[in-house]
Structure 1
């Protein structure tokens, strides 16, 4: 970027503007996925909505490429683009809770840790994610699922309003009563329609939960998955449990004798009466005696941090996902095959339940296209060593190709890789795609916001 343009940007904004010659440049361009190594022209750390408006005007008037960064967890690295400007919302980390109205306003750069901490003080929470380091913005705009989905629905089901800076630099509030078409699109349509500077969520009662982990030897994957597919959908909605294939990490709560062993298992979250949790989970012996079973009461924000240290920022990542309405025996065979051949100690597969309360929202009420899905699956090749990047990617692609024929065709938009085809985005939105294209045309006719899983504007 021309040095004069960089200086003009610095003069126009309250927040810092970081260029390639600045000492903070290399730290600024690092995101959660270390497989992404890109060199943007500049980082604009927006201090407030006014900075976002000024930055949008600046990049539009100078015909600059740009991307938006919230928490930086984008697997395909959509928040950083070579030679573009990244609008970094990191300074906008704030949460304001109204305990009487049971709502929270959340800054566009906030992480789940910020949201969970602020709301937990009042015995409240939002159904969102499984890691505290995830950005609220990216997760919400993609739809959002996590430990509380069966009980309280998707993250977007708790969204009541959003402040948005549009492609023309104007500022609007989207809700059921203001710009309802934009509000509909924001609930699952990704970052296609503007920069959300703040979200307002409806809050739900959640305090101390019963968290649990049950593990079985990987050789029992078939038996466990057959049991899991029958048990969880009919279990009380207070119980959430996502299935995983994994290598047991060293350290508590896992005993030393299972460290480093390949396992399959379920991570539990029980939000009901603590006294009944053990009775509900007594069935974990049905597919065969588990190698490990652990439950403990813990504050919900503590459960949200359970995986933060295991998979911190700076690892090599490659992931792909799909939605599933069933787990047939042929798919179970695929899971068993790849679980036995995890390429690295951190590589994994998760099946997140998206039934329960998420199914009680009408398919036409939000842009989320798969209200009939039972599970949102993700396959993640993960390792700290760049030398293993090709191996983890190949394992993930092979796994996905063998499993995809058993899927519903689309995926949670945040689990789509950058190298996947445009058809995958269209499949993810199903018959909502044309409506989304029309809304895109109304609010962003020139596709200024295209560093995302892009929806083309259509008149």
Structure 2
């Protein structure tokens, strides 16, 4: 790191409304930690921004001092992009205001907001937008990478519903982005990641959802995994989004003690149409094999949005890998053996059923261009600490390669920052267009701690 004088740091601190945190400060260890325990880095400075002026000042400081800059929203970055050694962390978490316009059916949320913040406000008006499967996920990185959640088949990706944004660029400009103002940048923000600046607020289109949905989980014995994959219904109404989770039974009170610690398949999903229609709509997914426990029922939308939170606590060592694909029969052939080889009870295979509204948007309409695949595999490789982590990572790589070694990946479910994995997330024409936008707004690649689009 460049040596920065105390006078320079004092000047920076005086210019901020927020907090400047340095090594040795009482708040430092808490401030530097992120959700993914696999990344334990020591930033030189952490700036907790309280407004756009703090963001402008921090970007200017990092640029002028030649320091690497990590931008943190919710801090859930799987590859650890929300922290950095010997650089600056721009922490947006204090900027978490959410404002709903029920008449226009829109919501404007600052970039430090989490999905539980957005859901709480929008559901007060019976409205929602596709959000994260875990409510502690930040809205920012999730949106910029695409955004797959329980409303993806009915409402499209989160980025499909992004109608405007405010952004601070590498040269210190504060820009409004919409279909009428800098549409090239709006296109890139819809799936191109954090490459183009610090988005300080997002404006989303909302949809009438809830307050009650029909949702939950049904559990099957793990030995029926192949049968479930081969008989899983290929068609579903747009109001129904489902995930197959090939996992290990936790010691939960809603599961019989005799299955605890054993392989189990959970089919998880949400029907967002009329609640009274939910039982019939989900029934084909709840009779795929002998049932251990069926927990589908009417529940608040906000309850479904937090249902998986206990399974994803802060501090685990996480590594994700992903692959889009079309055939569940192919998945049965390749993934059932990988499921049998799972390295520990914390690791699991998720298969997301896509299609619906997401697939009816043209592939070149947003930077998220993979619209024609029916399913997405997300390999969730986890360990409680460093000892089990290498085996979990190796298993995750083997599982995606078994399905397809050259499949298109999803940037939000990619655990490493390698250039080939980034390029595998976009068709060539999309990637080339992203390079062009990058050259316009960040030619020096100040914003490189992300799934990086490199300029020519």
TM-score by length of 2: 0.96
Match of 1:45 among 41, 48, 65: 48
In 2: Cα distance, 1:320 partner to 1:217 partner:
25
- In structure 2, the residue matched to 1:416 is 414
- In structure 2, the residue matched to 1:447 is 445
In 2: Cα distance, 1:257 partner to 1:121 partner:
41
Q: Is the 8 A contact 1:437 1:456 kept in 2?
A: yes
Structure-to-structure mapping, 1:19-418, within 5 angstroms: 19-207=22-210, 208-228=212-232, 231=233, 233-284=234-285, 286-329=287-330, 331-405=331-405, 409-418=407-416
In 2: Cα distance, 1:413 partner to 1:92 partner:
24
Instruction: Map Cα deviations across residues 44-100 of structure 1 (whole Å, 9 max, x no partner).
Output: 111111110111111111111111000000011011111110100011011001111
In 2: Cα distance, 1:252 partner to 1:324 partner:
35
Q: Is the 8 A contact 1:102 1:204 kept in 2?
A: yes
In 1: Cα distance, 2:391 partner to 2:181 partner:
48
* TM-fit CA distance, 1:285: 5.8
In 1: Cα distance, 2:86 partner to 2:176 partner:
31
Match of 2:424 among 407, 414, 427: 427
Q: Is the 8 A contact 2:271 2:281 kept in 1?
A: no
* TM-fit CA distance, 1:286: 4.9
- In structure 2, the residue matched to 1:15 is 18
* TM-fit CA distance, 1:273: 2.2
Q: Secondary structure at the residue paired with 1:163?
A: strand
Structure 2: gaps (5+ residues): none
Instruction: Map Cα deviations across residues 350-370 of structure 1 (whole Å, 9 max, x no partner).
Output: 112221000111111100020
Q: Secondary structure at the residue paired with 2:229?
A: helix
In 1: Cα distance, 2:231 partner to 2:11 partner:
62
Q: Is the 8 A contact 1:92 1:110 kept in 2?
A: yes
Structure 1 moving runs of 4+ over 4 Å: none
Q: Is the 8 A contact 2:221 2:290 kept in 1?
A: no
Number of residue equivalences: 451
Q: Secondary structure at the residue paired with 2:188?
A: helix
In 2: Cα distance, 1:16 partner to 1:54 partner:
12
Q: Is the 8 A contact 1:410 1:425 kept in 2?
A: no
Match of 1:2 among 1, 4, 19: 4
In 2: Cα distance, 1:280 partner to 1:60 partner:
54
With over 3 angstroms needed to count, the CA separation of the structure-2 counterparts of 1:62 and 1:279, relative to structure 1, is: same
* TM-fit CA distance, 1:126: 0.7
In 2: Cα distance, 1:148 partner to 1:284 partner:
17
In 2: Cα distance, 1:308 partner to 1:388 partner:
22
Aligned CA-pair RMSD: 1.5
* TM-fit CA distance, 1:327: 2.6
With over 3 angstroms needed to count, the CA separation of the structure-2 counterparts of 1:285 and 1:368, relative to structure 1, is: closer
